[in-house]
Structure formats: C-alpha cells, structure tokens
Structure 1
Amino acid sequence: AAEPRRVSAVVFHMTKQELRSALALALVVGLRMFGLFLVLPVLALDLSRMPGGTPLLIGVALGVYGVGHLLLQVPLGLLSDRIGRKPVITMGLALFAAGSLIAALAHGVWGIVLGRALQGAGAVTGASQALAADLTSERGRNAVMGILGAAVGLAFLLALLLGSTLAAHLGGLQGLFGLTCALVLLAIAALWLLVPRTPAPRVHGAGIGAIMVTLRDARLLVLDLSALVLHAVLTLFFVAMPLLLAHGLRLPVAGQWRVYVPALLAAALVMALVLPRVRAQSASVVAVQASVLLLALGLVLLALTRHALAPCMAGAVSYFVAFSMLEANLPGLVSRLAPTTQRGAALGAYSAAQFMGVIAGGASGGVLLGHAGVRGVFALAALLAVLWLLLLLAAGTRLRQTAPTASAGSA
C-alpha cells in the first residue's frame, strides 16, 4: 500500500491522521492542565480566608496533589499497558473531576485538601504520553510530544492571565473548582469522540516484571533522572523568579506576565522551528544536550541578575526555550527506548520522577532561599544543570542506541 499522505512534509513529518490525533489529544491534555493551573493564582490567598486556613494546611493543600501523582503514575501506567490507554485516562479524568467537585462544594480548608488529593489520584500523565506514542510513528513522535508540550504551556499561560479575573466572576476559589470539573468532563468527551482508537494492548504478565525491565535499562534511568532534575530546577526557578521580579526589578505580581509571556512565546516559536527537524533518535539526544546547556546558561544569567531587565529577560527566555524543548524531547526518547509492551510503565516511571523532582526542588529551594537568597537558589539550579549535562554527555552514545527489546516489543 502507498505510504499515507504526509502533511507539510518539510514542517511536520506527520501524516494527517497523526496530526489530527495529536491535536485531539492536546485538547484533552490542555483542558485538564488549564483546570489544574487555574486555581494556582488564588489558591493560597482564598484558603487563608477560610475556616482553619493555617499556613501549614495551606501548604498541604498546595502539595497534596503531587503525592497522588508520585505514588500512582507507575501503577496507572502499568494498568494502561494491560487494559488500554483510554480506559485508564478516563478513570484518571473522572477522579480529577470528582476531586474538583468536592473542592467546589467545600466550606473549609479540609474539603479543599480532600478534593486536591483526589485530583492528584488521577495520575494519567504517563498514560497520556504513552497514548501519544501509540498514535504516532517514530518519525513524528517528537512533533506530537511538542504539540502536547505546547498545549500545557498554553494552558499555563492562559491560567496565569485569567485565573484572578475568572475567580472574581465565578465567586472565588469554589467557582474555579466548579469550572475545572466542567472542563475535565469535556476532556473525557473529547477523548472518546475525537482521539482515534488504538490497537488492543498486547501484554503478557505485565506487572512488577514490566517495572524491572525499565529499571534494568540504564538509558531509561538516565532519562528518569533527567525528568527529576528538570522538574527540581523548575521548582527552584519558581521559588526564586517571582522574588527576583518583585524585589530586584520592582515588578508587582500583576505585572510579572510582562516577563513570562514574551519568554513563553519565544519558546513556542523556537519549538515550531526546531522540533520538526529533530526526527532521528540521535538528533533528539543532541537536542536534549544542547537544551540542557542553554538551561544552564539561562540560570547563570538569572543568578547574576541584580536590577537590570535585559539579563533577566535573556535568562528567562533561555530557560523557557530550553525547558520547552526538553519537555518535548525527553518523553519522546523514553517512548523510543522502552519496549512497546512496557511503554506505559516506562512513561509512568518518568512522570513519577518528575514529581519527585518537584518535591525535592521545593524542599531544597525553601531552605536555600532562607540561607543564600534568590541568587543562591538560581546558583544551585545552574549547578544541577551543569552536572546533568555532564551525565548526558557521558551517556550520549548509549542513548543513541536502539534497544533490541524495543523492536521486539513492537513486532
């Protein structure tokens, strides 16, 4: 049979079906992440006004979401290998919607904590990335991961801009949780109506053995460690960046979008220009190494910034460009290197490592901020990026190799 027609071959290197699948799945992921990010601009402030709104419980309400994601990413990834991606993603979205509804009806902080915990139990990032990999060929995989990454970035940007305004019109935090519930139910409908079916899973004895397969592969462990460092650095960045903007550059919270928005737009432009040209596995490895170098340079610039806008903007642009490229390329490499029948488990482990990084970055960033200030936090983030780059350079040859089990799994 003739090869399927490709859409704008020079740009996307994807079939029309792959492009439609990627856009449909990006809608599902984007709706979920928009709902998640939407409450962040007002969560701490509104909780402080509720009965029982102590600083400790506010911190618990903010962090409890990540606990479920850390604990359940791998089990749900394994389950998606056994029963299929869509049923598991639907289960996770339903839990997320239920948690949102509980939080919307809550009258105190403990109700919000319970709702956020249930939201976190819907840990389907790994299953969603595995579904994206199932729907695309290796030739178009980086592009589809880039589309998903762009959807998350757009969701974050819109939530940052609209969160406070929507809260004012919807009656505060509970209104935002109600809107989140509606958006997630819409995402479930989009998943089944717009995202194409995938072949039935072909797993024999998936379970702890699937986890052991991923743990025995040193290349997958390097990528899991990469996810941990990337998200530890992300948390360190957001520990320090708002304070740098507020105290160093005298930008109020309401005006900080003037730095974030241009940086995110620059990241989107670079991804649109570069990602379609990163198709081979070896090119993905080089792109990851170059992105980590750019990440380190951006963090060094931010560590050296005092009161000047230009180096701060350059550092922010470098950071977001590098972060966006890494968010697209790293999951694509995991999906290439993992055996097909353990892809959900491998991407679940990768996603769990992300949340381990968030927890580690938050804990170390808070301590370091008190002892070394904003510049010390950025310096630690830059040091982690440099050490990460050295690891990737040492593992570069192995990362370029295709595992025999991967090809066997797809046979």
Structure 2
Amino acid sequence: MEMEGFRWLLSDAGQQLLAELSNDRDLNEANFLRYTTKLRKHYPAEAVTAALETNLLRRAAQAKFPQASQLYFTREALEQATPWLVASYRQRHFATGSRLVDLGCSVGGDALALAQSCSVLAIDRDPLRLAMLEANAQALGLSQQISIQEADFTTLEFAGYAGLFIDPARRSNGKRIWDVEHYQPPLSTLERWRGQVPIHGAKVAPGIPDDAVPAGYDLEFISLDGDLREACLWWQAGQVGGQRKAVVLTSAGAEHSLIADSTQAAAALSEPLAYLYEPDPAVIRAHAVADIANQLDLAQFDASIAYLTSDRLVQSPFLRAWQIEQWLPFNLKLLRQILQAREIGRVTVKKRGSPITPEELSKQLRLKGRYEQTLVLTKLQGQPVVLLVKLL
C-alpha cells in the first residue's frame, strides 16, 4: 500500500468503499484479482489496492485486535504487531499518567495500549506507518494521548520521560536475527538512555539465548492462550535485574505470573505416573519448570525434558494435563501391536527430546482403525519412551 492510496481511504469515498467491502463475505485472497478488476472501473488503481488490502488485513487482525474493524495496517506491520491483550498487560509496567516514549512504534500496537493510561511520544522512520498510527489513534479516541514524530530515534535524547519502550527490528531479508547486537538498532543503544529514563523495556525474540541477556535486565516471557507470544527485557533504575518471569494470559482476561527462583532445587525424577503435565511455554522459557514442579509436588521424567508427572491430578494455569493410559520403552513393533489392539487408526504425536518426527512415526505405524490416540514421544532418564495419553 502506498501513501496516496491510504490517504484516499480517509476520504468520504474511501470510507464508503471500506464499509461496503466489510459486508462482502465473498472477498478473500483467492479472488483479490477479480475484485481489483471490477473496482478499477469505478476507482483509481491505488485506491482499489488500498481498500482491498485494508479489508483483508482487518479480518486477519481480529485475532489480535478487538477493534480491528476500525484500524489500518500494512501486512508486515500486522504480522509484527503485539496482540492487544499482551500490549495492555505491558502498559502496567508504567505508572498511570506517565510520559512515555514508544520507539519503532509502527502502526501503534503498543502505543495505543500505552495511551490508555499514559501520554505517549511515538517515533518511527516510516511515514506510512505513522500516518496509519495517527488514524488509528483517532479511531480509538486517543489522539490527545499520542504525539507522533518521524525521526531516527537513535540520535534523540529523552530526558524528562518516565518510561521508554522499543521494538527493534529482529529480521533481516526475511531471516530471524538471534544476536541482540544485530537488531536494528542494536540492543546496546538502550544504554545511552539509562541516565535519562528510569524504566525501559525492549521486545526481543522469545528464543533469545541466555548469554545474550544484558546484565541488569529482567527477562519476561508472555504467553496468550497457551502460545508463547513475546519476550521483553526490562531495566529499572535502582534494581539489580536478573529475574526471569513467566506471564500467562488468556483471552478470557485471566492473568498469572511466576518468577523463577535461580536457587530452586532440581525437581525429583520419576517414571511416568497417572498424569502427564506440560508446562506453559512461558514457564519453560523462564526456566521455572523446577519451581512449578516443587510447588505442586510433581516430578520430571528426565532432567533435560520439560514434562512433569504425578499420581494425583493437579490444576494450575501454568500446566496442561493429560491422563497417562499406558507407557512403554519405545519399540515400534510393540507400539503397533498395542494400537492395533485398541483399533487405533489415527494418531496425534507430541514430542519432546525425541529425534523421531510425527510424520515419520505415523507412516511407520501403518494403522487401520476407527479410533484416535495421542502419543507422546520423550525420554525417561535418557532412554526413549512413548506414552499413550488423553487430554483432560
């Protein structure tokens, strides 16, 4: 989408076309070209492209933004945008009424959430994304809370602001960047603002290596409905840092957090018992598996594998539970016999610590039956095992 097409969308004619397209359930990616040809008989080419893209992106954005039908995106900006529930959680790191800076603000996924309780200076180098942010702020009634600036923020000073948030670019030529010093800008850029801004956060890749976390920063992992969505580094004046925290959010509005204790004893080891538990991915990345195991009297199969077990069923927002129906040392022939006896015709395969792929196992089993079964491939103190489980 180009700026000219986006500006046209804000006109009365553009708003009318968007409204008409929003009610057209037949529009999709597959017939984009057909709609383009039809609409270009009545509207400029750039206007048609902008209207069709916006309509499709708004539909895709519903999974992230409850207000998606009012907002504007580019495709890349939507893919990179923080889900609204995650951004709304993050705003609580900052005191209500604070003056904040959002660096690399894009179309406003974070700035709009921060502006619910604070005033925000939103900075980016992309004029189209800033124009979209301006329109998005107006749509949500937040124009008075957000100031917009087009600039290379690495050269700016932010004395007088209470907090700062940055979302650096973590991809180059479509490939994910793991080294935080190869982000754009490098994470070390934050150091220049430490003496000016008392608290700042930086979005990082959820797979950030432990040795890439700068000294003095806390690291927070956030999941939403069981999916790991984001990781964020936090620095605050006067605090030592070094904490790892798991935050578990749900679409229903629940919020649970767990701070890993680096002095926590390792979890006990056990063979599979009556129940299997899989920790939330935020718990795993926060290195808090032993914490939850010891709190709930659970054991691990293997010290290197994030599966837990117990004889009793426990309920926790940090765990997903299965009933273990049977388990055995991995043996393809014996497993096939067991599944055939159960009349299993289709399997769902989960794995952790196993070199076998689900596709490979399904093919080798050659099953014919009328029932389904979930299998878990993992290790028991270094040895391969398979569990037959049922989700609870």
Interval of TM-score (by shorter of Structure 1 and Structure 2):
under 0.3
| Greater relative CO (CA pairs within 8 A, separation 6+) | 1
Under a length normalisation based on structure 2, what TM-score does the superposition of the two structures give?
A: 0.23
Under a length normalisation based on structure 1, what TM-score does the superposition of the two structures give?
A: 0.22
Query: Hey, which of these two has a bigger chunk of strand by percent?
Result: 2
